[in-house]
Chains A and B, each alone.
Chain A
């Protein structure tokens, strides 16, 4: 059914090769390392574009292409081929990854120019691109798994890029471990899939589900397992704690991995597994709940953060919450989730780059309380960041408006109480988002200067601003373009088999226009509160005030998630470890050594019978004789 393409492998091969070269290469490569890296990423992007146009050239129903490479694992009927699959869903990611990726490569050339390990940095970036592409191109859950952990590794390496700072190393480790918890889910998912359907490829599982091979229990377990995986990778509740710390990485990394691409892999996984969730209602409900909780969770944390990157990270968390929630809303949701994912990719990446640019100008200061009034000094940054800001809070006609609005809409349409609750949550989320993003905006670019003495803010070089500009354009236009005549939905339709054509006429809880109105009001409220609190003339203390409500304190502590993990897992774990160490030393090895020393004691005890008195020896003889006589007597009775 599917056509094949021989080019897919190059998408992965090019950046992977470049990464290898950059890693193994000698210091001589330092001069050109960044160029090679950027070129590799660009090349991948070009390939992606070619594939995209080739795809558009085909009829919608057979746009998907595959490229079988080799048999990876085959044992009994467990048969996994290394095969690549490019369909409408993956192409979106391919373009996002390579496109935004390339821009960020370019940006990094300037941003990392002072770092003597720049070559290594670009190697890692390429490695990430390759892994992420493998993630979205793999045609089976197991191949996806490879990319899945691959991006985890890349993220680990990049978060810990400056791992000479212990805190950064710890952050990297934390991220990896949190991801591993999610990976457990993915492993289990693969196992369940294999046992239930005898296949781990997407198509195989899909057919299996169609054929009703699996009980609904099994399907819900499968769904839950997949959700766990998504939660880990996409920093959803309750595994979100690592994302904030992950900001330890260089800002371009935060933009690419922890905003635009990797963290959205969870959304990809769930959308990719739509055929499971469509029939696993419980799992689907879980998805919605997780999404809803996280979008508020992130938003609340976002309000309390003074570190610009952490604030943005919190908002990422929250925005992904939106997407996850959308995917949990069944066929209608996937497309919108994807749409929001893409738009978010643009504006959030743009804003991170903006933040990076600010830090660049403020010699790596991240505390917004030490910013202020930067709009005059960094006009380009200000404008691009501002556009991103408008996009994220969902002001029409910016990208965020279309995507987020749709999600709120379908949330309301979820029906019954569910609809009401979800709808209000999403609206509330929108309001809070508006508030904290405005807060970021105001604290950074408006108000009075609160700089450190040695700060000399200046606009960043072109290599950094150009990507920002391009992304800003994206955040303006993307939503509008996508939404034009539902073209995006229709484009993805063959993947999700969810006929949206009828969705216009479908019965709504509220008419779309009302929804938009509500959303905009929520936004307005949020913005106005922010202005009231941080607007013109309001003084912002250079250090976060301590005399704040317990809620603020809690929010600053990421809603205590770390403390919770600490109390629930780490400390008991450490205790257990200590206990086991003692057990091993004292009990098990002790038992062994005990047997040894016991034998020795017995030996020296029995030895005493050898008194040296010949008469006692004679006594033994007699004892023996009597013993034998007695035994014989007894036995012959």
Chain B
């Protein structure tokens, strides 16, 4: 039963089909892309249905020997975290395709290629989260860059080529550092386990000396910190997000960057527990810096570029995620994982709507908007709700995750949690200031007759908003899936009391 392989292969086949389509018939290409991605999403949900919550390890496991000489297997499998992130990707892809229906028009490259690249990317996203073989993971990790690179460089705007290259080099650099560590693991595993292996569960048996462990940990961590992105490895993100089309940005920030935080949990914590503990406090500090740094720069962007603004808010949010991960508490862990999902949705909403605003106004400057609430109420409302979820308003999904992260941190690092909590004030500012500038006030010149959301756009955004609200009240549905794995990874660290209140 290799359902994951099939799931991952579907979009790839779809993209192949797209390439075969005639260049001229763009509508057909779009429909095919939408159809395929929807089918995949449904299939994914179907698979998720028979996911056993009680099991902590990997499920739907597949394993085929690939390059025995290097101990490389084609190994797939999911635990709660991976499953949810895959579902996130599967749900967002059709939404993006629908939302960005006309995004690729007028680019230097053909429309069908755009959607084909999106589908390829979907495959990569499934693979990277489903891989249980570090090498396979690394492979998807690097391969992902290529479609994104072309999506930014081929369809972006402004400094697209430069941004694409910056993105690529940053990631490649990180990837190569990770490669160094992977080589290390390969050699160590061959010495200790007899035969080399990249199987995550196998590798946990290794016993590394402190120096090696720290060395290998850093290789992985920096790669993930660049992806995440954690301060000070973040500067590629705003440029990329600004240059990329909104759809690309959604997948980039919504899903791809989660690979970083995902990797920290999946690999850094499980493979290098001691190094994780050793570097934990430092990373906590970096996370706090990210939270505030991102927030302040987002506020600064509120008289600048709206896409940059959103990407800086994401940097702040990623700060929260890493904070939760390295708090080493059940709440922090589950909170961070839940945060990844929620942030996916809220950022998606923000970017899509911002994209529509920009497309209507032909400007991404926050100042150029204004009074949209009067002109385009629906657009304004959806943007406002998305913003509220980004500032973690109780009752919306992101509140639960953010709060869990903070509680989880408070248990182990009270001071850090207190400082982190101050971040919610800044969150209010970096959302409400742009909201006021762009939605409130008198209608700015040039906005008088902007069109409100059309049906397609409403259909695209509705599910996202619905999920944001729904998971605000029923996060337990997700948490039930997340908890077992999170608990396991924390108890594997065996690091003192992982939850408070038990004194």
Q: Which residues of A contact B (CB under 8 A)?
A: 70-78, 82, 142, 145-146, 148-150, 153, 160, 163-166, 169-170, 173, 176-177, 180-181, 183-184, 187-188, 190-192, 194-199, 213, 576-578, 580-581, 584, 588-589, 592
Among candidates A166, A177, A576, A578, residue contacting B442 with C-beta atoms closer than 8 Å? A166
Please state if B407 and A78 are interface contacts (CB–CB under 8 Å).
yes
Closest to A198 in B: B501
- Chain B residues closer than 8 Å to A173, beta-carbon distance: 432-433, 436
- Chain A residues closer than 8 Å to B428, beta-carbon distance: 176-177, 180
Please state if A164 and B475 are interface contacts (CB–CB under 8 Å).
no
Given A149-B393, A173-B432, A584-B235, A187 contacting B500 (CB threshold 8 A): no
- Chain B residues closer than 8 Å to A72, beta-carbon distance: 473, 475-476
Closest to B433 in A: A173
Please state if A194 and B425 are interface contacts (CB–CB under 8 Å).
no
Quick check: which of B111-119, B123-131, B141-149, B328-336 contacts chain A, the rest being far away?
Answer: B328-336
Please state if A187 and B421 are interface contacts (CB–CB under 8 Å).
yes
Which among B429, B442, B502 has the greatest number of chain A C-beta atoms within 10 A? B429
Please state if A177 and B425 are interface contacts (CB–CB under 8 Å).
yes
Q: Can you list 30 A-B pairs with a CB-CB distance of less than 8 A?
A: A71-B476, A72-B473, A73-B475, A74-B479, A75-B408, A75-B486, A78-B407, A146-B395, A148-B394, A163-B436, A163-B441, A164-B440, A166-B440, A166-B441, A173-B433, A173-B436, A176-B428, A177-B428, A180-B427, A183-B424, A187-B424, A190-B403, A190-B407, A191-B414, A194-B501, A195-B411, A199-B501, A578-B300, A580-B296, A588-B235
With contacts A76-B487, A166-B442, A578-B300 known, what are 12 further pairs, Cβ within 8 A? A72-B476, A75-B335, A75-B408, A160-B440, A164-B371, A177-B429, A187-B421, A195-B410, A577-B299, A580-B293, A580-B296, A588-B235
Q: Kindly state the separation between the CA atoms of A187 and B403 in the bound complex, as whole angstroms.
A: 8
Please state if B499 and A77 are interface contacts (CB–CB under 8 Å).
yes
Closest to B412 in A: A195
Please state if A195 and B500 are interface contacts (CB–CB under 8 Å).
yes
Q: Kindly state the separation between the CA atoms of A76 and B333 in the bound complex, as whole angstroms.
A: 10
Closest to B298 in A: A577
B4 to chain A, nearest CB (A): 27
Q: Which residues of B contact A (CB under 8 A)?
A: 232, 234-235, 293, 296-297, 299-300, 329-331, 334-335, 371, 373-374, 388, 393-395, 399-400, 403-404, 406-408, 410-411, 414, 417-418, 421-422, 424-425, 427-429, 432-433, 436, 439-443, 473-476, 479, 483, 486-487, 498-503
Given A72-B475, A150-B395, A194-B500, A187 contacting B406 (CB threshold 8 A): yes
Among candidates A73, A181, A194, residue contacting B400 with C-beta atoms closer than 8 Å? A73
- Chain B residues closer than 8 Å to A580, beta-carbon distance: 293, 296-297, 300
Given A75-B331, A177-B432, A580-B293, A184 contacting B479 (CB threshold 8 A): no
Which among B432, B442, B443 has the greatest number of chain A C-beta atoms within 10 A? B432
Interchain residue pairs A-B with the least CB separation, the first 4: A198-B501, A76-B330, A195-B500, A169-B440
Among candidates A170, A194, A197, residue contacting B407 with C-beta atoms closer than 8 Å? A194
Q: Kindly state the separation between the CA atoms of A194 and B503 in the bound complex, as whole angstroms.
A: 11
Which among A71, A181, A194 has the greatest number of chain B C-beta atoms within 10 A? A194
Contact residues of B: prevailing secondary structure:
helix
Closest to B439 in A: A163
Contact residues of A: prevailing secondary structure:
helix
- Chain A residues closer than 8 Å to B393, beta-carbon distance: 149, 153
- Chain A residues closer than 8 Å to B443, beta-carbon distance: 164
Q: Kindly state the separation between the CA atoms of A576 and B388 in the bound complex, as whole angstroms.
A: 25
Please state if B300 and A149 are interface contacts (CB–CB under 8 Å).
no
Please state if B373 and A163 are interface contacts (CB–CB under 8 Å).
yes
Q: Kindly state the separation between the CA atoms of A196 and B410 in the bound complex, as whole angstroms.
A: 11
- Chain A residues closer than 8 Å to B476, beta-carbon distance: 70-74
- Chain B residues closer than 8 Å to A176, beta-carbon distance: 428, 432
- Chain B residues closer than 8 Å to A150, beta-carbon distance: 394-395
Q: Kindly state the separation between the CA atoms of A195 and B410 in the bound complex, as whole angstroms.
A: 8
- Chain B residues closer than 8 Å to A74, beta-carbon distance: 476, 479, 483
A262 to chain B, nearest CB (A): 15
Please state if A195 and B501 are interface contacts (CB–CB under 8 Å).
yes
- Chain B residues closer than 8 Å to A165, beta-carbon distance: 441
Please state if B407 and A181 are interface contacts (CB–CB under 8 Å).
no
Closest to B393 in A: A149
Closest to B235 in A: A589
Among candidates A77, A187, A592, residue contacting B502 with C-beta atoms closer than 8 Å? A77
Please state if A73 and B436 are interface contacts (CB–CB under 8 Å).
no
A92 to chain B, nearest CB (A): 24
Which among B411, B440, B502 has the greatest number of chain A C-beta atoms within 10 A? B440
Q: Kindly state the separation between the CA atoms of A135 and B234 in the bound complex, as whole angstroms.
A: 39
Please state if B503 and A213 are interface contacts (CB–CB under 8 Å).
yes
- Chain A residues closer than 8 Å to B487, beta-carbon distance: 76
Q: Kindly state the separation between the CA atoms of A77 and B408 in the bound complex, as whole angstroms.
A: 11
Closest to B231 in A: A588
Q: Kindly state the separation between the CA atoms of A105 and B50 in the bound complex, as whole angstroms.
A: 50
Given A75-B483, A146-B394, A180 contacting B424 (CB threshold 8 A): yes
Closest to A146 in B: B394
Please state if A592 and B235 are interface contacts (CB–CB under 8 Å).
yes
A348 to chain B, nearest CB (A): 28
Among candidates B234, B331, B425, B498, residue contacting A181 with C-beta atoms closer than 8 Å? B425
Among candidates A75, A213, A589, residue contacting B334 with C-beta atoms closer than 8 Å? A75
Q: Kindly state the separation between the CA atoms of A82 and B440 in the bound complex, as whole angstroms.
A: 35
Please state if A196 and B501 are interface contacts (CB–CB under 8 Å).
yes
- Chain B residues closer than 8 Å to A588, beta-carbon distance: 232, 234-235
Please state if A76 and B499 are interface contacts (CB–CB under 8 Å).
yes
B163 to chain A, nearest CB (A): 12
Q: Kindly state the separation between the CA atoms of A485 and B465 in the bound complex, as whole angstroms.
A: 53
- Chain A residues closer than 8 Å to B417, beta-carbon distance: 191
Among candidates A73, A145, A169, residue contacting B479 with C-beta atoms closer than 8 Å? A73
Which among B373, B417, B428, B502 has the greatest number of chain A C-beta atoms within 10 A? B428
B380 to chain A, nearest CB (A): 10
Among candidates A73, A149, A191, A576, residue contacting B395 with C-beta atoms closer than 8 Å? A149
- Chain A residues closer than 8 Å to B399, beta-carbon distance: 146, 149
B358 to chain A, nearest CB (A): 21
Q: Kindly state the separation between the CA atoms of A150 and B472 in the bound complex, as whole angstroms.
A: 13
B281 to chain A, nearest CB (A): 19
B192 to chain A, nearest CB (A): 33
Please state if B297 and A584 are interface contacts (CB–CB under 8 Å).
yes
